[in-house]
Protein backbone atom coordinates (compact mmCIF):
# COMPACT_ATOMS: atom_id res chain seq x y z
CA UNK A 1 0.00 0.00 0.00
CA UNK A 2 1.41 3.40 -0.99
CA UNK A 3 2.00 6.08 1.59
CA UNK A 4 -0.57 8.88 1.51
CA UNK A 5 0.94 12.37 1.67
CA UNK A 6 -1.05 14.80 3.81
CA UNK A 7 -0.28 18.49 3.14
CA UNK A 8 -1.40 20.98 5.79
CA UNK A 9 -1.37 24.58 4.59
CA UNK A 10 -0.29 27.08 7.27
CA UNK A 11 0.75 30.73 7.42
CA UNK A 12 1.69 33.41 9.93
CA UNK A 13 -1.24 33.77 12.32
CA UNK A 14 -2.78 30.36 11.58
CA UNK A 15 -4.94 28.80 14.31
CA UNK A 16 -2.51 26.16 15.52
CA UNK A 17 -5.02 23.39 16.24
CA UNK A 18 -6.28 23.62 12.65
CA UNK A 19 -2.87 22.25 11.69
CA UNK A 20 -1.66 20.23 14.67
CA UNK A 21 -5.05 18.54 15.26
CA UNK A 22 -5.15 16.73 11.90
CA UNK A 23 -1.36 16.22 11.99
CA UNK A 24 -1.67 14.43 15.33
CA UNK A 25 -4.50 12.21 14.09
CA UNK A 26 -2.62 11.05 11.00
CA UNK A 27 0.58 10.70 13.00
CA UNK A 28 -1.13 8.49 15.58
CA UNK A 29 -2.48 6.36 12.73
CA UNK A 30 1.14 5.64 11.82
CA UNK A 31 1.93 4.76 15.44
CA UNK A 32 -1.08 2.48 15.85
CA UNK A 33 -0.47 0.82 12.47
CA UNK A 34 3.18 0.20 13.22
CA UNK A 35 4.14 1.56 9.80
CA UNK A 36 4.03 4.79 7.83
CA UNK A 37 0.54 4.97 6.40
CA UNK A 38 0.66 8.75 6.12
CA UNK A 39 3.44 11.25 5.48
CA UNK A 40 2.57 14.63 6.98
CA UNK A 41 4.02 17.85 5.58
CA UNK A 42 3.24 21.36 6.77
CA UNK A 43 3.50 23.86 3.93
CA UNK A 44 3.35 27.65 3.74
CA UNK A 45 3.80 30.26 0.99
CA UNK A 46 7.41 31.03 1.83
CA UNK A 47 8.45 28.11 4.01
CA UNK A 48 10.53 28.27 7.19
CA UNK A 49 9.21 29.15 10.63
CA UNK A 50 5.72 30.62 10.81
CA UNK A 51 4.19 31.92 14.03
CA UNK A 52 0.71 30.67 14.89
CA UNK A 53 -2.01 32.81 16.46
CA UNK A 54 -1.04 31.63 19.95
CA UNK A 55 2.66 32.43 19.43
CA UNK A 56 3.90 28.87 18.92
CA UNK A 57 6.05 28.56 15.79
CA UNK A 58 5.85 25.76 13.24
CA UNK A 59 8.51 24.67 10.78
CA UNK A 60 7.12 24.58 7.24
CA UNK A 61 8.14 23.72 3.70
CA UNK A 62 7.80 26.32 0.97
CA UNK A 63 5.07 25.58 -1.57
CA UNK A 64 7.65 25.96 -4.34
CA UNK A 65 9.55 22.97 -2.95
CA UNK A 66 6.55 20.63 -2.72
CA UNK A 67 5.11 18.81 -5.72
CA UNK A 68 1.35 19.26 -5.57
CA UNK A 69 0.81 16.26 -7.83
CA UNK A 70 2.14 13.96 -5.10
CA UNK A 71 -0.34 15.18 -2.47
CA UNK A 72 -3.11 12.77 -1.48
CA UNK A 73 -4.92 15.13 0.91
CA UNK A 74 -4.66 18.92 1.16
CA UNK A 75 -6.12 20.71 4.18
CA UNK A 76 -6.08 24.47 4.65
CA UNK A 77 -5.98 25.95 8.14
CA UNK A 78 -7.79 29.08 9.25
CA UNK A 79 -7.18 32.26 11.20
CA UNK A 80 -8.39 35.85 11.34
CA UNK A 81 -9.62 37.54 8.18
CA UNK A 82 -6.50 39.69 7.91
CA UNK A 83 -3.96 36.87 8.08
CA UNK A 84 -5.99 34.63 5.76
CA UNK A 85 -6.30 37.34 3.11
CA UNK A 86 -2.57 37.92 3.31
CA UNK A 87 -1.85 34.21 2.84
CA UNK A 88 -4.42 33.84 0.04
CA UNK A 89 -3.11 36.86 -1.87
CA UNK A 90 0.42 35.43 -2.17
CA UNK A 91 1.02 34.62 -5.88
CA UNK A 92 2.32 31.11 -5.22
CA UNK A 93 -0.68 30.34 -2.98
CA UNK A 94 -3.06 31.39 -5.75
CA UNK A 95 -1.32 29.06 -8.17
CA UNK A 96 -0.33 26.10 -5.99
CA UNK A 97 -3.49 25.40 -3.96
CA UNK A 98 -5.98 25.20 -6.88
CA UNK A 99 -3.54 23.12 -8.94
CA UNK A 100 -2.89 20.75 -6.02
CA UNK A 101 -6.62 20.39 -5.35
CA UNK A 102 -7.20 19.30 -8.94
CA UNK A 103 -4.89 16.29 -8.65
CA UNK A 104 -5.35 15.44 -4.95
CA UNK A 105 -7.67 12.60 -3.95
CA UNK A 106 -9.34 15.05 -1.59
CA UNK A 107 -8.88 18.61 -0.37
CA UNK A 108 -10.56 20.91 2.07
CA UNK A 109 -10.30 23.15 5.08
CA UNK A 110 -10.42 23.27 8.83
CA UNK A 111 -12.44 26.01 10.53
CA UNK A 112 -12.18 29.39 8.76
CA UNK A 113 -9.69 27.97 6.25
CA UNK A 114 -12.76 27.66 4.02
CA UNK A 115 -12.43 31.41 3.35
CA UNK A 116 -9.07 30.85 1.67
CA UNK A 117 -10.62 28.26 -0.62
CA UNK A 118 -13.58 30.57 -1.28
CA UNK A 119 -11.32 33.52 -2.08
CA UNK A 120 -9.55 31.32 -4.64
CA UNK A 121 -12.88 30.47 -6.27
CA UNK A 122 -12.78 26.84 -5.18
CA UNK A 123 -16.13 26.58 -3.40
CA UNK A 124 -18.53 27.47 -6.21
CA UNK A 125 -21.60 25.21 -6.28
CA UNK A 126 -20.48 23.25 -3.23
CA UNK A 127 -21.91 22.44 0.19
CA UNK A 128 -19.52 23.38 2.99
CA UNK A 129 -19.26 24.30 6.65
CA UNK A 130 -17.04 26.48 8.80
CA UNK A 131 -16.94 27.83 12.36
CA UNK A 132 -20.45 28.79 13.51
CA UNK A 133 -19.38 32.42 14.02
CA UNK A 134 -18.29 32.68 10.36
CA UNK A 135 -21.08 30.82 8.55
CA UNK A 136 -23.04 33.94 7.64
CA UNK A 137 -19.96 35.64 6.17
CA UNK A 138 -18.99 32.56 4.15
CA UNK A 139 -22.50 32.39 2.70
CA UNK A 140 -21.86 35.76 1.05
CA UNK A 141 -19.59 34.08 -1.49
CA UNK A 142 -21.52 33.25 -4.69
CA UNK A 143 -22.89 29.74 -5.21
CA UNK A 144 -21.71 28.49 -1.80
CA UNK A 145 -24.18 26.49 0.28
CA UNK A 146 -23.18 26.73 3.95
CA UNK A 147 -24.29 24.07 6.44
CA UNK A 148 -24.14 25.95 9.74
CA UNK A 149 -24.96 22.91 11.87
CA UNK A 150 -22.69 20.04 10.87
CA UNK A 151 -19.28 19.37 12.39
CA UNK A 152 -17.89 18.53 8.96
CA UNK A 153 -19.28 18.18 5.46
CA UNK A 154 -18.14 15.99 2.57
CA UNK A 155 -19.08 17.12 -0.95
CA UNK A 156 -17.35 14.90 -3.48
CA UNK A 157 -13.65 15.18 -2.78
CA UNK A 158 -14.12 18.46 -0.89
CA UNK A 159 -14.04 18.11 2.92
CA UNK A 160 -14.71 21.10 5.18
CA UNK A 161 -14.95 21.18 8.97
CA UNK A 162 -16.35 23.59 11.52
CA UNK A 163 -14.44 25.24 14.33
CA UNK A 164 -10.97 24.23 15.49
CA UNK A 165 -11.28 20.80 17.18
CA UNK A 166 -13.60 19.45 14.47
CA UNK A 167 -10.55 19.01 12.26
CA UNK A 168 -9.79 16.04 14.49
CA UNK A 169 -13.23 14.53 13.88
CA UNK A 170 -12.90 15.06 10.14
CA UNK A 171 -9.42 13.51 10.06
CA UNK A 172 -10.71 10.43 11.86
CA UNK A 173 -13.45 10.12 9.23
CA UNK A 174 -10.76 10.31 6.54
CA UNK A 175 -8.85 7.49 8.19
CA UNK A 176 -12.04 5.45 8.33
CA UNK A 177 -12.53 6.09 4.61
CA UNK A 178 -8.90 5.14 3.86
CA UNK A 179 -8.24 2.11 6.03
CA UNK A 180 -11.46 1.24 7.86
CA UNK A 181 -13.48 2.05 10.94
CA UNK A 182 -11.54 -0.26 13.30
CA UNK A 183 -8.37 1.72 12.66
CA UNK A 184 -10.14 5.06 13.14
CA UNK A 185 -11.57 3.75 16.42
CA UNK A 186 -8.11 2.63 17.54
CA UNK A 187 -6.68 6.06 16.79
CA UNK A 188 -9.49 7.76 18.74
CA UNK A 189 -8.91 5.39 21.65
CA UNK A 190 -5.14 6.03 21.59
CA UNK A 191 -5.81 9.78 21.65
CA UNK A 192 -8.17 9.28 24.62
CA UNK A 193 -11.01 11.10 22.89
CA UNK A 194 -14.32 11.18 24.74
CA UNK A 195 -16.19 10.06 21.64
CA UNK A 196 -15.95 10.00 17.87
CA UNK A 197 -18.29 12.70 16.59
CA UNK A 198 -19.97 12.13 13.21
CA UNK A 199 -20.15 14.93 10.66
CA UNK A 200 -23.89 15.42 10.99
CA UNK A 201 -23.61 16.22 14.70
CA UNK A 202 -24.48 19.81 15.48
CA UNK A 203 -21.75 22.35 16.27
CA UNK A 204 -23.91 23.21 19.28
CA UNK A 205 -23.79 20.32 21.75
CA UNK A 206 -26.94 20.04 23.85
CA UNK A 207 -24.82 19.21 26.87
CA UNK A 208 -22.47 22.14 26.29
CA UNK A 209 -25.41 24.51 25.81
CA UNK A 210 -26.97 23.19 29.00
CA UNK A 211 -23.77 23.67 30.98
CA UNK A 212 -23.12 27.14 29.56
CA UNK A 213 -26.68 28.33 30.06
CA UNK A 214 -27.61 26.79 33.39
CA UNK A 215 -24.25 26.59 35.14
CA UNK A 216 -23.26 23.90 37.61
CA UNK A 217 -26.86 23.14 38.63
CA UNK A 218 -28.85 21.66 35.77
CA UNK A 219 -25.76 21.70 33.53
CA UNK A 220 -24.04 19.10 35.71
CA UNK A 221 -27.31 17.20 35.92
CA UNK A 222 -27.32 16.84 32.14
CA UNK A 223 -23.91 15.17 32.25
CA UNK A 224 -25.12 12.90 35.05
CA UNK A 225 -28.12 11.86 32.94
CA UNK A 226 -25.97 11.10 29.90
CA UNK A 227 -23.70 8.86 31.95
CA UNK A 228 -26.79 6.87 33.01
CA UNK A 229 -28.71 7.10 29.75
CA UNK A 230 -29.70 3.41 29.76
CA UNK A 231 -31.14 3.58 33.27
CA UNK A 232 -34.55 4.68 34.48
CA UNK A 233 -34.46 8.47 34.87
CA UNK A 234 -37.65 10.04 36.24
CA UNK A 235 -38.55 13.20 38.12
CA UNK A 236 -38.16 11.61 41.55
CA UNK A 237 -34.64 10.42 40.65
CA UNK A 238 -33.62 13.81 39.28
CA UNK A 239 -35.16 15.71 42.17
CA UNK A 240 -33.28 13.55 44.65
CA UNK A 241 -30.06 14.17 42.72
CA UNK A 242 -30.48 17.95 43.03
CA UNK A 243 -31.68 17.85 46.64
CA UNK A 244 -35.06 19.38 45.79
CA UNK A 245 -38.61 18.20 46.26
CA UNK A 246 -40.19 16.78 43.12
CA UNK A 247 -42.56 19.73 42.79
CA UNK A 248 -39.84 22.35 43.28
CA UNK A 249 -37.46 20.55 40.94
CA UNK A 250 -40.06 20.27 38.17
CA UNK A 251 -41.03 23.93 38.44
CA UNK A 252 -37.43 25.20 38.43
CA UNK A 253 -36.36 22.87 35.62
CA UNK A 254 -39.17 23.92 33.31
CA UNK A 255 -38.62 27.60 34.13
CA UNK A 256 -34.88 27.35 33.46
CA UNK A 257 -34.87 25.13 30.37
CA UNK A 258 -38.24 25.73 28.77
CA UNK A 259 -38.99 22.01 28.60
CA UNK A 260 -40.06 19.21 30.89
CA UNK A 261 -37.51 16.82 32.42
CA UNK A 262 -39.01 13.97 30.37
CA UNK A 263 -38.53 15.86 27.10
CA UNK A 264 -34.97 16.76 28.00
CA UNK A 265 -34.08 13.16 28.85
CA UNK A 266 -35.63 12.04 25.57
CA UNK A 267 -33.54 14.63 23.71
CA UNK A 268 -30.32 13.25 25.21
CA UNK A 269 -31.39 9.69 24.41
CA UNK A 270 -32.13 10.54 20.79
CA UNK A 271 -28.76 12.26 20.43
CA UNK A 272 -27.13 9.08 21.71
CA UNK A 273 -29.24 7.00 19.30
CA UNK A 274 -28.16 9.16 16.37
CA UNK A 275 -24.51 8.49 17.15
CA UNK A 276 -25.07 4.76 17.63
CA UNK A 277 -26.67 4.56 14.19
CA UNK A 278 -23.16 4.93 12.78
CA UNK A 279 -22.49 1.41 14.06
CA UNK A 280 -23.99 -1.87 12.81
CA UNK A 281 -26.03 -2.36 15.98
CA UNK A 282 -29.66 -3.36 15.36
CA UNK A 283 -32.31 -0.85 16.39
CA UNK A 284 -33.50 -3.12 19.19
CA UNK A 285 -30.03 -3.04 20.77
CA UNK A 286 -29.72 0.72 20.33
CA UNK A 287 -33.10 1.22 21.99
CA UNK A 288 -31.93 -0.81 24.97
CA UNK A 289 -28.62 1.02 25.23
CA UNK A 290 -30.25 4.44 25.40
CA UNK A 291 -33.01 3.44 27.80
CA UNK A 292 -35.93 3.67 25.39
CA UNK A 293 -36.97 0.07 25.94
CA UNK A 294 -38.39 -0.90 22.58
CA UNK A 295 -37.52 -0.44 18.95
CA UNK A 296 -41.05 0.88 18.29
CA UNK A 297 -40.68 3.62 20.91
CA UNK A 298 -37.30 4.61 19.49
CA UNK A 299 -38.67 4.81 15.94
CA UNK A 300 -41.63 6.96 16.94
CA UNK A 301 -39.54 9.40 19.01
CA UNK A 302 -36.79 9.58 16.39
CA UNK A 303 -39.27 10.42 13.63
CA UNK A 304 -40.89 13.12 15.78
CA UNK A 305 -37.58 14.88 16.37
CA UNK A 306 -35.65 14.36 13.14
CA UNK A 307 -38.45 13.86 10.62
CA UNK A 308 -37.14 10.49 9.37
CA UNK A 309 -36.98 6.96 10.72
CA UNK A 310 -33.73 5.64 12.24
CA UNK A 311 -33.30 3.31 9.26
CA UNK A 312 -33.68 6.15 6.77
CA UNK A 313 -31.26 8.30 8.75
CA UNK A 314 -28.73 5.44 8.73
CA UNK A 315 -29.03 5.03 4.96
CA UNK A 316 -28.70 8.78 4.37
CA UNK A 317 -25.53 9.18 6.40
CA UNK A 318 -23.88 5.77 6.41
CA UNK A 319 -25.28 3.96 3.37
CA UNK A 320 -26.64 0.97 5.28
CA UNK A 321 -29.75 -0.21 7.15
Per-residue model confidence (pLDDT) at position 216: 46
Residue 201 lies in a domain: no
Q: By three-state DSSP, how is residue 118 classified?
A: helix
DSSP state of 202: B
286 — pLDDT class (breaks 50, 70, 90): very high
- Region 179-186: what's the mean pLDDT? 89
- Secondary structure (DSSP) of 264-297: HHHHHHHHHHHHHTTSS--HHHHHHHTT--SHHH
Number of domain units in the chain: 2
Are residues 185 and 212 located together in one domain of the fold?
no
Contact 151, 169 (CB under 8 A): yes
In a domain, 196, yes or no: no
Same domain? 185 vs 211? no
3-class state of residue 226 by DSSP: helix
Q: Is residue 200 part of a domain?
A: no
Burial call 106-137: b when 16+ CB within 10 Å, e when fewer:
bbbbbbbbbbbbbbbebbeebbbbbbeebbee
Q: Which of 159, 157, 162, 154 is nearest to 138 (CA)?
A: 162
pTM of the entire structure?
0.68
pLDDT tens sequence across 72-121:
999 999 999 999 999 999 999 999 999 999 999 999 999 999 999 999 99
204 confidence band (pLDDT: 50, 70, 90): very low
Vertex 166 angle, CA 70 and 78, to 5°: 65
Domain that holds residue 38: 4-190
The tens digit of pLDDT for each residue in 52-79 reads 999 999 999 999 999 999 999 999 999 9
Q: Please report, in angstroms and rounded to a whole number, the separation of the first and last CA atoms in the chain.
A: 31
List the CATH number of the domain containing 130: 3.40.50.880
What local confidence, expressed as pLDDT, does residue 3 receive? Answer: 95
Percent of the chain with pLDDT over 90: 63
Residue 59 inside a domain? The answer is: yes
Q: Are residues 17 and 150 in the same domain?
A: yes
Amino acid sequence: MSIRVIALFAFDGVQILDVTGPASVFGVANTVSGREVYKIVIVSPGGGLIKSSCGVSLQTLALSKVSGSKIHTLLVGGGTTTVMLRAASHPITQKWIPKCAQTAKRFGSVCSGAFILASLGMLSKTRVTTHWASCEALANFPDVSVDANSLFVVDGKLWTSAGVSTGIDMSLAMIERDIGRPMADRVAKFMILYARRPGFQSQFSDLLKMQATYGTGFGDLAVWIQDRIAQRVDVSTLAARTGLSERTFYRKFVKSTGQTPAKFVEMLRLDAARSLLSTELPLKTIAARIGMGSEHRLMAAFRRRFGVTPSTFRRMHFGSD
